Structure formats: structure tokens, C-alpha cells
A and B are shown apart, each in its own frame.
Chain A
Amino acid sequence: MTPGLLALLVLAIAAAGFVIGRKRALSAASGDSRSLHSLPGYYGQSVALFAAVPALVFLAGWLVLQPLLIDMRVGATITPADIPQGSSQSLVMSDVRRIADGLDVLAARGAPDTASLDPATLRSRLAEAGIALGNDVKPAIFDAATDYRARAAKGRLAMTVAVIALSAAGFAYAFSRITPAFRARNVVERFIKALLIGASSVAILTTLGIVLSLVFETTHFFRLYPAREFFLSLTWNPQFRGGSDLGIWPLLWGTLYVSFIALLVAVPVGIFAAIYLAEYAGRKTRATAKPLLEILAGIPTIVYGLFALITVGPMLRDYLAQPLGLGSSSSSVMTAGLVMGIMLIPFVSSLSDDIINAVPQAMRDGSYGLGATQSETVRQVILPAALPGIVGAVLLAASRAIGETMIVVMGAGAAAKMDLNPFEAMTTVTVKIVSQLTGDTEFASPETLVAFALGLTLFVFTLGLNILALYIVRKYREQYE
């Protein structure tokens, strides 16, 4: 039975449980719901919850664990002799899985008996079924694949039986507890509360997953490639035949340069826009301009990327870079920085606007009373009071800029170099994560794994910036009340 169908079946048992449990409670109270401890629906809910939740959790766990266990068992039967030159255990295992899938397809098409197929002709038969294999199937691999299929089928059957049994057991247990004195509401509410707690730990699990996967693969990378080189080398030159230089500095330089230019655009524009909207603009101007600026934050980054690629890049090249003799590439640090700056304007302006509005009116009135003009008030009273918040906003924008991917992928170029000319194409950490992980590459090579080290660097950087931003905002915030 497929997992989806199984889940549906469990839900059906639960639904039946609700109806039957409710009926049972009422009949136990001989039709008088006043003699029940809880409302009749709660008795039904208790049966439904016990029938559905443990079984579904078990099903999810089984689905994750079964392939791992089978891989381990089948992998143990493959001897080093079965692994061709230049291949690895994991590649052979993926072949085994492909063949097993192919055998499923053949079986579904009505092949007589898949176990009796001849390994020698299997490749062409699988190709007919739409599964392409790199080389002919060795008998040992074929055996492993049939073994894999047998185990998978056995596992699936065991799963079906176990899940249905668990669901039925939950049903029976909850059902047997139904008496008029049974405190069904308390049980159900405790159960639901446990579910709520479970849901809220997903956030923790996600962070844990991110950190673990990054750290695990990064240590794997550093076993294949010296960490000193990664952190100290000034060249980035991946070779897919090995012997690459994977120094992070050119990428960091590109990232910081692009982010710097982006902030150079976004910070002044964002802060001035916030000041204007908060202090000068009339109600009508504010009501139209503020949402318009915020649309900029809602536009997907791929749109900015395309804008950089087809409009800004060629324009900068034709009207600035080429006449000035600074370069002839349409993707450049300047292109990416400028477009990213536009994207960041609302991040700076919205937050700054809120913070400026939070400065109490009394401070403005005091300043005006001493004869200051409006701009003097803004510069000498409001901005100093709002500064921590604004710095926080700028740091958050910086963290966005460093982690931004699509704009730099489409606007900044792919050449890893350290140059001061902003019209030169450079590359960033995020661009290289994408390019190292999207090609058809072997997963165990340092050229691929370096992406995880880059990802960890990125994660640490942005996390640091965010924590710093929160710290500054909290520490230097003036309390006005």
C-alpha cells in the first residue's frame, strides 16, 4: 500500500473512531449526556486522536528510516570488487536503486518474472522502460538490486501491517477507556497541547537541521581539503579533475564589495526617504509613497535579477563603463550593487520610519521652541535619538545583502577575482554555492562540498550581523516613557 493511501486509511479509522466513540459514550450514559464527565464529542475526539496520531508519527518515522536501513544492509553485500574503477560505493548504490526502480517499472508492464531476467540484456530492456544506465549491469549489482527490491517490498508490507495495527490498537485503547466518569476533555486537551508543543519545536528542528547539515558536510570537506588553504588562499580556481584552489577570499571580497555598493545606495536613499515621509510629507503623499516603496520589498528577487541582466547591466556598460574605459562587461559589481541597493531601500526606510515616528513629539516641540528649523531638529535631535534603531535597520539590510543570491547570480558575474574596479565582473559566496551545487557533480568531491563550507560561512556572517543588530537596538534604545 502506498504511504498516501495508508495515511488516508488511518484518517478514515480515526473518523470512524470519532463517531463510534461518541456513540459509545452516549450509550454508556444511557443517552443522557448530563451524566457524562465531558461533552460527548470529547469522547469521540479522544478515540480519533489515539487512533490517528501515533500511527501517523510512526508512518513518517518508518518512511525516513526504511531506505537508510535497506541501503545499509544491501550496501554491505557489495564487495570492493564490484565497484568499478573511478566509482564509489554511493554511486554503485544509486545504480542499484535505479535498477530496482527499473525492475518495478518492468514488473508493472507485465514482465513475466523480474528475478529471472538476464542481467546482460537488462540494460537495453531498462532503456526501453525509460531508465538509462551508465554501463551494463554486473551480476553482483543485479543481485543487489533484486535483494533491494525484495527488502523494500518486505519493508513496505511490514509498514502497512504495523501502521494499521498501531492505529487499531490506539482505537481499542481509547475506546476501552470510555466510561461516564472518564475525564475525556482533560485527556484530549493534554493531547492537543502536546501536539502544539510538537509543532512549535519544528522551528528548533529546522535550525538544528541547518546547523548540523552545514557542520557535518563542512567537516567532511575539511577532511578532503586543508582548512588553512580555504581560509588563507587568495585564489579560487575549482578544477573538476582535482587539484583545485578553493580560497574563500576572492568570494568574500566580491560579496562585501557588492554589499557595500548596495548599502551606499540604500542607506542614504532609505534614511532620507524615511525622514521625508515621517517629518515632511503630508498625509496624502505618505499614504501613496509609503506603500509604493514597500512594493519594492515584495517583488521577488528573480525580477531584480532580470532587471539587472537586461536593463541595468547593458545601460551601465554602454553609458558609463565603456566611455570611461573601465570595462566591457555588462555583469559587474556595480550592476549587482545598484540593483540590490534598490531592493534594500524599503528595508532601511520602513524600519527607520517606524523608529523616527517613535521619537516623542515633545522632543520636537522642545527643539522648535528653542528656534531650530525643522531640518536642524531632524539632524540634531531626532536622528541622534533614533540612531540605534537606524543602525539596527542598516545592519539587517547588510545581512540581506550578503545573503542575496539571484541578483548576484544574474548581475555580478562568475569570475572570482579581487579587483577595485566596480565595473569588473566579480563573484560572491552565494553565486559559488549555486554554481558548485547545481552542476552534475559527484557529491563526495571537495569541489562540491566546498559549497557547504561557503554556506556555513554565510550562515555565521548573517547570524552575527542579526545578533549584533538586535544587541545594538536593545542596548542603546532610549526609553522615553
Chain B
Amino acid sequence: MVVKMRLARFGRTNAPFYNIVVAHARTARNSRPLEVIGTYDPIPKRDTYDESGKLHKDIKLDTTRAKYWIGVGAQPTDTVWRILSMVGILPPKHRPAVPAAKQTTPQANKA
């Protein structure tokens, strides 16, 4: 059976909170997973004494276990892929749009 790395939604109405889990693909979303490797809080927050108004999101992740599960063939969902690509475990799936001028030399980018 396929092992997926995906999010399990916890939290409350209008206040989501996700566990980043490793689970068999056909099990229910919130059932007990093989392993919880982290959390993702999608609600942007401010620092308490920060006046600039910048927002941040908190993620907790066990990178060692994430690398292990990727190594044995677990398939991350798009959202988890995005998180793992931030840490550098996976290459980013959706790259930001490249300006037209730079697209002329694709070979140079690959190298």
C-alpha cells in the first residue's frame, strides 16, 4: 500500500491546525498515522512586540524522519512537498514564474 506524507486537520472551526503525518494512503485523514513528523499552523501570526506588522507561520518538522520517509518512497502531497522544499529535502515543485529574458538559456539554468 502506498505510504503518503500528508496533513491531518485538527484544531477547531475556522482555526485549523495540521499534523504532518506519515500514513497509509487509504486510511482516514485523522486516523492514527504511522508517525507524526511535525505540525503546520496555517494561521499567520505577529510577533508580540513587533511593530512592523510582518506575519509569520509556524512549522515544526523532524527533518531526519522526513528524509528517511522520502528515502523509502513515501509520497508527499503537494502541500507537504512545499514544506519539505523549504527545508531543502525536495526540489520545489512549483517554481516561481521566471522572467522571459532568462528563459532563453535553459541549459545554463540546469547546470
Q: Do A and B interact with each other, yes or no?
A: no
